[in-house]
Structures are given as structure tokens and as C-alpha cells.
Amino acid sequence: MLRLRLLSLCSFVVLSVPLWSQVTSERLLNATKEPQNWLTYSGSYKSQRYSTLSQITPENAKDLTLAWVWQNRSLEKFEATPLVVDGVMYTVSPPNDVVALDAVTGRVFWTFRYDPSPKSLACCGRVNRGLAILGDTLYMGTIDDRLLAIDDKTGHLLWAVRAKDAAPIEQGYAYTHAPLVVKDKVIMGQAGGEYGIQGYISAFDAKTGAEVWRFNTVPHPGEPGNETWGGDSWEKGSASVWLTGSYDPDTNLTFWGVGNPGPDWNGDIRPGDNLYSCSVVALDADTGKLKWYYQFSPHNEFDYDSVQVPVLADIQWKGQPRKVMLWANRNGFFYVLDRVTGEFLLGKPFAKVNWADGFDEKGRIHPVPGKVPSELGTLIMPGNQGATNYYSPSFSPSTGLFYIPTWENTSSLYVKGGIEYVPGQFYTGGGPRSAGPPRGPGNSNTMEEGYGAVRAIDPSTGERKWEYPMSEVTSAGVLTTATNVLFSGGAEGYFYALDARTGALLWKSTVGGSIEATPITFMVNGKQYVTINAGNAIFTYSLK
């Protein structure tokens, strides 16, 4: 009798949890087939930041209206891209609080609070770029270098792990990027590029958290590439990973951008190319073995982390279909690589550069002699933050164009300094200085002194098709849709829609705070929404 009573209510749950509510790896593989959801950091494994939702068009974008706002309780930079699964939005309030919101109203279902160790170190803010999901489990990397598994219905912590024999976090190891789930594994890379870490990428079993493979982004002795580090410099080689990679199921390769070598601004102690710093690595998703790599900036001394989203596209290349990787690099060059073999197909500046002037026939970049850090400071373009950075570019199969959030006319004076390793302190060997006069309280800069822009590039030639300039630089990523609407923002506090074909402004909203993240779009009950972080809040819009 008793058991029947129970069965009549709660046990019903055990029998009838709808399978459609689970995010299977099959759904992740086919994420573009459910454009109403946003299932991974970049939307899908090709990381195009592109949606086939078509309710918002260039004609009606002017009618976009605010649907809701949600404010976090953090003063850290709000860099996370949310996930949306069947009407529930999941995001991270920095550093590591997770919240589940009703995607239609922005009201909160639950909050998971996590207090990272006070010993955690981060060069550039205690930030987090988002979550991954598989089944009913959310995954988050924490600023104190743990991978957490969290129940998506209740916000309960399921488990928390560190990589096997992970070094103390006092040495600068941390997780800041959204994990990437591939099949039954959760892939995370170590941040800490300014602390002389030994960088690596780990894959963890999604159920248990056991680390199942590891790829050293600074190769250890005996591993190929270790010989590109003179002496023992590999031991503090950094080569961090702090942005979510991409995955190609056809080749079973997962692609990751790798950060600067350590020390950042003085390469004397690390003669050689310093693989795989400032590179893209293509790893077998099952084993972590390296299949190919391409190094964008060998032996770099300008902090040009190649930590950008690898964008995979299938385009016509010299009259033939080709599986490519499109990469707008922090170093100021736009690249096209063959994503199956790593072959270099194209390299062309997309912003002003003065440190390199071309490529050899194999695609190795040619630095300009004399453009190296010096005691008095050497003027290098682009500046230390690069011509672009972690915020997402977008590729639109609809227009065929590649869109780059760009910093133009920026430069830094690179000053070479002494090198001393102290655990937990910056291991950088000097640093960049601003090249221009100090800024005024308001923005009184000319365009020649630096500005931000969205640039549309034809990937088959590297030619710029149009530019939408802003008065200030930008840390906002780009989203495009099948109806040729492009969404982006900037540091000034505007969120806007452009015509992706021409760059014409369609609509803007004054969000009043810097946008340090990339927009997403989703649909619930037949209504399309666009969401962006600005300041310390999430803004969501839809048509009236």
C-alpha cells in the first residue's frame, strides 16, 4: 500500500524522465540541427558562431526590444557564453557561480555557489568563459584549477577533480575556458601563461572525472618539439590554453589554440621556436596524440597568444571544395589552413602589422629583422592585446564571409627586462608599454591612435570586404545568422545589429557597460531571442 502511494507520485519520475531532455553526444554532433538551442560554447563543433534561426531579419531588426535583464553579483569581467537547452539558460557569474535561468524571462531556477581557493592566481581577472553540458551534467573549470560536474536540474555538485599530479595552484595553474565535451570526454587546458607553468591539455572521463589523456603543450624531454626549447627553458615554457577548441568528427580531430611562451617578453633564455606556443594543435580526440600543428608565431616575444577560436568551414578553395580552418590571429594575420593536414593555404594581414612581412613557401612567417623587445622599448604593431583576441569571430555560410572583431592602429613599446622565476609571480621578462600619450578621462583619441572594428574578410583571398568602425577598441565577439544579421558590440557600451552583407547598422541598444563576451541566439515557443553580456548583466532581446 505504502509503496503504491509512493509509486503514484515520485516514482513516476524514475519511469518517465523524458529522454529528449538529455543532451546526448549525438545532439552535440548535430547541434546545428537544433538552432533553438545553444549547446556548446561556440554553438557547435565547427565554432562558426552562426545560427540558422531566421525570425530576425535585416528588415525587422530595428524592432528588437529588450525582453529581460539579469544582473550578476560580481565585479569581475563577465566573459561567459551561456548555454541554452530547451528553454533553460545556464551561465557562469565570475569566477565560478553557476546559475540556471528561464531563458524567456531571465528568472532564476537555481544558483550554485563556489568559493575558489584564495590561493588561485589569474593574470587578467578571475574570469570564466562558460560551461559544457552532456546528459544532465554541466561541466565548469574553476579558477582554482578544478573541473566540476554539476547537476543541471538542481545545481548540486556531483564531483570535482584536478588533473593527475597537478602542480600546486600557487604556481599559477587555473581553468578559465568553457570545457569542450567530445563523445564521453571533457577536454580542458591549463591557463597560467604569465606564471611559467608547464602547459597541457587534459581529457577527463565525463562520468567519473578520471583524466584519460594529456597532451603537453610544452613538450617534455623525449617528446617531439622539446628540442625547440634551449636548455631547460621548457620547464617554465607556459604555452597555456584558455579558450574552447573545436572538433571535426570526420577526422576525429580536436583543435586548440595555444598561448605565449614564457617568459613572455624576453626570449633570450628560450632559444628556438618554442613549440607549441603560439600554435594550433590538432589532436586525436580519443588519445590526445598530436596529428598536426601549425605555429603562427615562432619564438614569440610579443605575447601573441594564439588563443582564438578555431573556426572550421567548408569552402571553395581555388575552384575545389576544401575543409579549412579560418584563423584571425592575435599577431595581426588572417590564416587559412587545411584542417585535415594542417597545410598552410593563406596568410595575410587583416590589421596593421610591422613585426613580420610575409611567409616562406611552407607558410612559416617571416619576422622583420630588428623587431624585437629592447631595453628602451621597440614599437610593434599590433600592440600587446593583439589585432584580435579571445572573443569569437564568426563565419557565415550564407555570405561566405569571415568576420573579425579587430583592434586597429594599436601598438606597444616592448621593453625587454630581466628574468627571474619566483613561483606564483609573473615570469615575463619585461613588458609592453603604451606607445602613445596617456588617455584622457573620456575618449579623446583619434582613429590613428587606435580603434575597434568588425571586419568582413573574404576567406578565399583575405581581402577585406567591409569594416564597421567604432571609436573604441572591442572585446565583443561576433554572431551571424542565416538571414544575414550580424550581432556584436564593443567596449563603449553598445550592442548592435549590422547587415552582414554590407556592414550597415540596423539597430543598436545602449547597454551601458563594456561587452567582454560573444552573443548567442536561441528560440523558445517560436520566438527568437538574442543574448549578450554587458557590464555585469545579461541582456536578452526579441522582436516586439
Report the distance separating Cα 98 and Cα 114, nearest Å. Answer: 8
Report the distance separating Cα 219 and Cα 229, nearest Å. Answer: 9
User: If binding is defined by CB under 8 A, does position 157 make contact with other proteins?
Assistant: yes
User: Strand pairing of 246-248 and 479-481?
Assistant: unpaired
Query: Interface mask (CB under 8 A) for other proteins, residues 89-108, using x and -?
Result: ----------xx-x-xx-xx
User: If binding is defined by CB under 8 A, does position 13 make contact with other proteins?
Assistant: yes
User: If binding is defined by CB under 8 A, does position 160 make contact with other proteins?
Assistant: yes
User: If binding is defined by CB under 8 A, does position 110 make contact with other proteins?
Assistant: yes
Which positions from 340 through 399 interact with other proteins, judged by CB under 8 A? none
Segment near other proteins (CB under 8 A), from 146-154, 251-259, 307-315, 417-425? 146-154
Beta carbon of residue 6, minimum distance to other proteins (angstroms, whole number): 5
Going from the C-alpha of 483 to that of each of 55, 63, 479, 506, 531, the distances in angstroms are 8, 15, 12, 13, 17
CB count in 10 Å sphere of residue 425: 14
Nearer to other proteins, 6 or 504 (CB): 6
Using CB under 8 A, which of 24, 65, 71, 111 touches other proteins?
111
Beta carbon of residue 100, minimum distance to other proteins (angstroms, whole number): 7
**Residue 128: which of 137, 119, 139 has the closest Cα?**
139
In the set 97, 152, 303, 499, the catalytic residue is 303
Nearer to other proteins, 424 or 469 (CB): 424
Beta carbon of residue 483, minimum distance to other proteins (angstroms, whole number): 28
Query: Interface mask (CB under 8 A) for other proteins, residues 57-86, using x and -?
Result: -----------------------------x
User: If binding is defined by CB under 8 A, does position 88 make contact with other proteins?
Assistant: yes
**Residue 95: which of 110, 76, 81, 109 has the closest Cα?**
76
C-alpha cell at position 205: 572521463
Q: Which of 306-333 are b and which e, b meaning 16 or more Cβ less than 10 Å from the residue's Cβ? A: bbbbbbbbebebeeeebbbbbbbbbbbb
Enumerate the β-bridge partners of residue 348: 334
User: If binding is defined by CB under 8 A, does position 19 make contact with other proteins?
Assistant: no
Site size for other proteins, by CB under 8 A?
44
User: If binding is defined by CB under 8 A, does position 14 make contact with other proteins?
Assistant: yes
483: exposed, middle or buried (Cβ count in 10 Å: 0-12, 13-18, 19+):
buried
User: If binding is defined by CB under 8 A, does position 537 make contact with other proteins?
Assistant: no
User: If binding is defined by CB under 8 A, does position 443 make contact with other proteins?
Assistant: no
Using CB under 8 A, which of 59, 63, 115, 227 touches other proteins?
115
Q: Is 152 a catalytic residue?
A: no
The sign of the CA dihedral 97, 126, 177, 536 is positive
**Residue 156: which of 80, 84, 100, 210 has the closest Cα?**
100
Give the footprint of other proteins on this chain (CB under 8 A).
2-3, 5-7, 9-14, 16-18, 21, 86-88, 99-100, 102, 104-105, 107-115, 118, 146, 148, 151, 153-160
Q: Which residues are catalytic?
A: 303
